[in-house]
Structure 1
Amino acid sequence: MTNRPQTIQIFLPTGSPTGVKEAELTNRLLKAMYFPRTAMEDAAKRDIAKYTGVYFLFGTDNNGENKVYIGEGEDCWERIKSHHRNKDFWTSCVIIATKNDIYTKTEAKFLEHVCLKEAKEVGRYITTNDTGSKKPSIPETRIYDLEDNFETLKTLLGILGFPLFRNGAQKETESREYFYCKGKEAKAEAILTDEGIWVLKDSIANLEETKTAGSWVIGMRQKLKDSGVLIQEENILKFAKKVLFKSPSGAAATVLGRRASGWIEWKDKNGKTLDELKRK
């Protein structure tokens, strides 16, 4: 979907900016409710909790990797209460339904199927669903409506801080900015986005850290090794998949195995640094 200006309305039922939030695009059918697991009691009081729709349970694993469980329900709250008893990993939940509760069970299952399929393809979060979601039979005319709803759903999740379906390393506009970081054996390629800097799959990092790398560099690289992102191949480390870094310096330090200023180390194809292009 092409990016365009939109108006979002966010309501804080308890007045707390870290508690329950209800979000909607003013001219769209869907509505979302976010709540931390610690605010189950407050969330249960909201009408949308009991609507027919889809829900997302977000958390992390022991390596700090983002995880999500995607489900649906005629009464979402009944399903979420069950997960509260039986699933440990999640810390936050988002429920998405129509503002006037008009989804049928079949329509909710269709959205669950689309969400799970797309989440697996994008790969930003580890999906914890034990099985896939079978695509239900639904009239063709309704499919187009629900696919349009899915675009709104993606926007609402992103607004609430969960860019589950956003692949920052894919083409979002016609111009992508590529940058390169090199040193010793290292040779990495990255794309700069409004989220941070994506180091691309098959980029190469130095195998060893320098003596002055510091614990944060060593720890950051070890975490990526433990999660299978950085794989050793002979005398180098290779990125097994694309990785988003919030700062250019974090990305450069990971690639080079030392303390580094990413604003200087990342350069475009003409040799101009990020500092020259973005800060001056």
Structure 2
Amino acid sequence: MPKPYTIRLFILDGNPNSLKIIDKMNWTGIGLEVSRDSWSKHKNRKEFDQAGIYILFGYAEDSDLPVVYIGQGDGIRTRIDSHDKNKDFWDKVLVFISSNNGLNRAHITWLEWSLIKKAQEINRCKLDNNATPNEPILTESEKADTQEFLNEILSILPLVEIRVFEKAQKMHVSNDEQSKNKNIRDTIIVPAQEDGFKEVFLKQNSWYAIRLSAGKLKDIKYIAAYQTAPVSAITHYAEVESIEPYGDGGKYKINFKGSARKIGPIVFGNAKKGTLQGPRYTTFEKLQKAKELNNL
């Protein structure tokens, strides 16, 4: 069962975007979050001489999901120095070490293996690791202690805005009790280019990565696809089954109850240029009656 806990953040130089030192009561570990642009300033700290585990975190231009690299080392400084020269995507690094030098090579390799395995299972990030290490052999007591160290790391990560190791919680949508207020905009219209429309909207019965305000989540019951030029029309819609977080940046994935159905087409018509460069909302009643975008 989850239990309450307290985490302390020490902002060494008064800038929360530079260096955070993280600890918990009765934990033998220490966490450090360092931004990439301040790495050269803080890298000579003694903590980076020790054995530990680290997580590089950032975004790449070709991915809606955050990009993560998980590594370990007997001395972390040289590893991160190398990544500073050779990896472009990351903008911060999370480092976890033992406060009493209690982690050895087997422990940190097990932590690396476990975090990579968890990230692969959860699938909320793009892993930059080229290979997955084999699970190292630990004694029963060592494995229990290292698992507890891992649990402490996982309890800290969401509080420094890294949620890629948490299973996304789906919000299931029900249409059994339709709102009596027909003015509620219960349908989201999303622009879709040809490849994404065919491979995701039609084949995967889903759509992502959509930035939604929390206040709209409870209202969305349907999704419609506006195919961009040369089609330039809304051609399909689907009933929404569930909505879940996608990645780690406030975006969502919408899952359909079944295959998308044809509608319209509802043509662009005389709508203003740029009308559907991003998601838009309407009512399902209007969607069923519309002939062109201005009707929505």
- Residues 1-280 of structure 1: matches in 2 within 5 Å? 2-62=1-61, 63-169=63-169, 178-180=172-174, 209=189, 217-218=190-191, 225=196, 230-233=200-203, 238-239=205-206, 245=212, 247-249=214-216, 252=220, 255-256=223-224, 259-260=280-281
The 1:249–1:225 alpha-carbon spacing in structure 2 relative to 1, beyond 3 Å, is farther
Q: Please, which runs of 5 or more residues in structure 2 have no aligned partner?
A: 177-186, 226-278, 285-296
Long gaps (5+) in structure 1: 171-176, 183-204, 210-216, 266-280
Q: Which secondary structure does the structure 2 equivalent of 1:116 belong to?
A: helix
CA, structure 1 residues 243+26, in 2 after alignment: closer, same or farther (shift >3 Å)? farther
Q: CA deviation at 1:168?
A: 2.6
Deviation (angstroms), 1:256: 4.1
Q: Which has the higher strand share?
A: 2
Which consecutive aligned stretches of 4+ in structure 1 deviate over 4 angstroms post-superposition?
A: 240-246
* Identical columns (%): 21
Higher helix share: 1
Distance 1:244 1:30, change over 3 A: farther
For 1:192, the equivalent position in structure 2 comes to: none
When the two structures are superposed, what TM-score results if normalisation uses the length of structure 1?
0.68
- Evaluate the alpha carbon distance shift between residue 133 and residue 244 of structure 1 in structure 2; reply closer, same or farther with a 3 A threshold: farther
Query: Which range moves more in the overlay, 40-49 or 55-64?
Result: 40-49
Sort the Cα spacing of 1:51 and 1:127 in 2 relative to 1 into closer, same or farther, 3 A.
same
Aligned CA distance change for structure 1 residues 26 and 161 (closer, same or farther; 3 Å): same
Q: Any idea what SS the aligned residue of 1:64 has? A: coil
How big is each residue's C-alpha offset from its partner over 1:220-254, in whole Å with a ceiling of 9 and x where there is no partner? x66x939x7x3324xxx721789885535379499
The one-letter amino acid of 1:39's match is S
CA RMSD of aligned residues (A): 3.3
Q: Which amino acid aligns with 2:49?
A: K
- Report if aligned partners of 2:106, 2:138 keep a CA contact under 8 Å in 1: yes
Structure 2 distance, partners of 1:82, 1:162, is 23
Contact 1:169 1:242 in 2 (8 A): no
Q: Could you tell me the TM-score, scaled by structure 2's length?
A: 0.64
1:61–1:67 CA contact under 8 A, matched in 2: yes
